[in-house]
């Protein structure tokens, strides 16, 4: 399908080396040049070139948009930087942020970066429950923060009482006992120390510490250096050039690399405007996203597949939303998984109905450890699991693994190692200093590497049935999602069992009984064409509660962590095999 004339892409090209042992190396021929020394150099630039342009906007308590200009953002971030240094923060005393996306969150982030203070945005979900606070305690034990920032400390009484935070100073937006107000902090008038720290930053200066974890073990602290972030955002800009400052409405959380690095930094790089979306792709919360997208005409949209599923359903019945959405949009980006069911076709039908031409989809692939960009389709994607070709400056190593490849990566966007965990760092890199991502990929077209790669699942999620045959979870998941439009997301079960069964989150809009019947019909049709034990689905169970970020069930790529879900919902799996719905 031809892309919209609105979209621009770098030429599709790749350099490939084939080694005698079957290993394949891939890299972009586009040189990675023009990288800034510091992410905040973009903020400084646009404060000078477009001082009154809105950088960030967010609704206030009345529902009106409040705006932060580039000039104001730069001035306030410098003041915050000086204030943090005055309070004794530095490279070894990081700032922890316990609040969601907000204008103030961004100001504290960029202020800390200017000061050379690592900033660690932590999932607000960790603060909301006893189970999450146990993980929060593990994070604090690794991080050893010197200060805490929150929009309001009032809902965080249990967090403030944690022994790991005893005696730490707090900065808040809303007045709270024993916390300093941000309104006082960002009024500092002199910034000599902050300016010196900003000028002294190098590629190895730690900008952020993001936390990620698998299905087992404590969270891992991932230092993101200025070199990582600047190279990653520059590389993306080289393959996705723009003619005018972009505009986006975005909810993606900034404690995840996709929202906090890819989306936020790309807007900053191009001098664009981000409207912070208070909605979420969840029942009861998506109405706010619809409201915002009906009001604001965006040029670029990035989301996870389930978000697009809800958006398509809304646009099919809301002409005002559909018309506004396609008014200026140049590119739709997604990451983490294939688009579920028929979402791609339905979105394109809406685009053609509205503008007379299809919209350009692009699929990206990355990790917290890579800032995040590894690869992307810088050409129109069809939503079938493509992850594209390596970004400029990023070298990909493909190691043969059965009928696919283990993917590894090195480049200036790759992290130096896990915070305080030399043991994990040693395991993460091979002898050529390639970072082992833990994912499997395949060529989209084995005869033509220019067609790029496609995601083939997490290596750690594949398992054997009781007959000893491997189930390739990622491939099976993609096949089922393509065949069952009523399935929003799924987890594959069957380790050491006789057959494969599924935990299923149904797509929105159907009552449980109707969803169950529709999914059963779709899976029966799928089974008619898939008879092998590793492909046939023997039964399924519907899951009511969404994947939990606090419990590690949702990764930083928006991908459902299969092992974590199976571990956390072991009773549901047991019931599924002891008499659940069979096919």
Residues 449 and 470 both lie in one domain: no
Number of domains in the chain: 3
Distance CA 102, CA 115 (A): 20
Domain-located, residue 41:
no
Determine the pLDDT at residue 215: 46
pLDDT, residue 337, reads 59
- The answer as to whether 28 is a domain residue is yes
Q: Which are the contacts of 375, defined by CB distance < 8 A and separation ≥ 6? A: 364, 365, 366, 387, 388, 389, 390, 391, 394, 396, 452, 453
pLDDT at 581: 61
Within 394-490, where are the H helices? Answer: 422-428, 473-483
pLDDT in tens, the chain (583 residues): 455 566 789 999 999 999 999 999 999 999 999 999 999 999 999 999 999 999 999 999 999 999 999 999 999 999 999 999 999 999 999 999 999 999 999 999 999 999 999 999 998 988 887 777 888 999 999 999 999 999 998 899 899 999 988 889 999 999 988 889 999 988 888 899 999 999 999 999 999 999 986 544 678 999 999 999 999 999 999 999 999 999 999 999 999 999 999 999 999 999 999 999 999 988 889 999 999 999 999 999 998 877 898 999 999 999 999 999 999 999 999 875 567 668 899 999 999 999 999 999 999 999 999 999 999 999 998 877 789 999 999 999 999 988 889 999 999 999 999 999 999 999 999 999 999 999 999 999 999 999 999 988 778 788 888 887 888 888 898 889 889 988 888 999 999 899 999 999 998 656 788 888 999 999 999 999 998 889 999 999 999 888 876 677 876 555 788 888 998 899 999 999 987 666 7
Of the three residues 459, 474, 495, the one that is the final residue of a domain is 459
Q: Is residue 409 part of a domain?
A: yes
Q: Domain holding 283: CATH number? A: 3.40.50.12780
Which of 459, 488, 512 delimits the end of a domain?
A: 459
pTM over 0.95: no
Q: Is 221 part of a structural domain of the chain?
A: no
- Decide if 553 contacts 547 (C-beta within 8 A): yes
Q: What is the pLDDT of residue 523?
A: 94
pLDDT at 334: 84
Tokens of 389: 């070709």
The answer to whether residues 438 and 494 belong to one domain is: no
CA distance 561 to 553: 5
- Do 323 and 441 lie in a common domain? yes
Domain coverage including residue 122: 69-201
74 and 19 inside one domain: no
Estimate the crossing angle of helix 70-86 against helix 40-49, to 10 degrees: 140
């Amino acid at each position: 399908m031809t892309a919209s004339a609105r979209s621009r892409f770098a030429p599709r090209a790749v350099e490939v080396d084939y080694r005698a042992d079957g290993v394949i190396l891939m890299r972009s021929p586009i040189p990675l040049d023009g990288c800034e020394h510091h992410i905040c150099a973009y903020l400084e630039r646009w404060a000078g070139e477009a001082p009154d342009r809105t950088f960030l906007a967010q609704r206030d308590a009345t529902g009106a948009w409040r705006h932060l200009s580039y000039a104001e953002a730069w001035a306030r971030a410098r003041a915050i930087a000086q204030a943090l240094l005055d309070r004794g923060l530095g490279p070894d005393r990081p700032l922890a942020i316990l609040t969601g996306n907000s204008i103030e969150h961004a100001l504290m982030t960029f202020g800390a970066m200017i000061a050379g203070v690592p900033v660690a945005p932590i999932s607000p979900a960790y603060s909301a429950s006893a189970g999450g606070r146990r993980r929060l305690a593990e994070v604090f034990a690794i991080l050893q923060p010197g200060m805490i920032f929150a929009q309001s400390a009032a809902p965080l009484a249990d967090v403030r009482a944690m022994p790991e935070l005893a005696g730490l100073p707090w900065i808040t937006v809303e007045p709270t006992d024993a916390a300093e107000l941000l309104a006082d902090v960002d009024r500092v008038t002199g910034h000599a120390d902050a300016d010196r720290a900003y000028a002294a930053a190098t590629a190895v200066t730690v900008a952020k510490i993001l936390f990620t974890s698998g299905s087992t073990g404590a969270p891992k602290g991932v230092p993101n250096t200025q070199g990582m972030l600047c190279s990653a955002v520059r590389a993306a800009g080289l393959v996705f050039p723009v003619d005018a400052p972009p505009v986006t409405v975005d909810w993606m959380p900034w404690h995840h690399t996709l929202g906090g690095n890819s989306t936020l930094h790309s807007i900053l790089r191009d001098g664009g405007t981000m409207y912070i979306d208070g909605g979420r792709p969840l029942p009861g919360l998506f109405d706010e996203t619809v409201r915002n997208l009906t009001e604001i005409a965006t040029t670029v949209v990035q989301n996870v597949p389930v978000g697009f599923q809800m958006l398509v359903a809304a646009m099919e019945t809301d002409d005002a939303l559909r018309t506004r959405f396609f008014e200026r949009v140049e590119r739709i980006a997604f990451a983490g998984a294939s688009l579920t069911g028929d979402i791609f076709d339905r979105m394109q039908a809406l685009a053609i109905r509205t503008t007379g031409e299809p919209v350009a989809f692009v699929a990206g692939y990355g990790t917290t450890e890579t800032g995040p960009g590894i690869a992307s389709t810088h050409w129109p994607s069809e939503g079938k699991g493509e992850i594209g070709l390596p970004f400029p400056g990023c070298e990909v190593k493909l190691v043969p693994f059965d009928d696919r490849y283990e993917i590894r990566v090195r480049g200036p966007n790759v992290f130096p190692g896990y915070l305080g965990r030399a043991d994990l760092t040693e395991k993460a890199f091979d002898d050529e200093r390639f970072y082992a991502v833990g994912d499997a990929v395949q060529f989209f077209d084995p005869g033509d590497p220019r067609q790029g790669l496609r995601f083939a699942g997490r290596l750690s999620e594949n398992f054997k049935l009781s007959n000893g045959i491997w189930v390739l979870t990622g491939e099976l998941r993609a096949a089922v999602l393509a065949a069952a439009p009523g399935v929003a997301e799924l987890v594959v079960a069957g380790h050491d069992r006789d057959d494969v069964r599924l935990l299923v989150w149904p797509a929105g809009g159907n009552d449980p009984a109707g969803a169950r019947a529709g999914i059963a019909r779709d899976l029966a049709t799928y089974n008619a064409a898939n008879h092998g034990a590793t492909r046939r689905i023997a039964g399924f169970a519907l899951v009511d509660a969404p994947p939990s970020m606090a419990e590690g069930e949702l990764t930083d790529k928006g991908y459902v962590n299969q092992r974590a879900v199976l571990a956390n919902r072991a009773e549901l799996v047991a019931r599924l095999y002891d008499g659940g719905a069979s096919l």
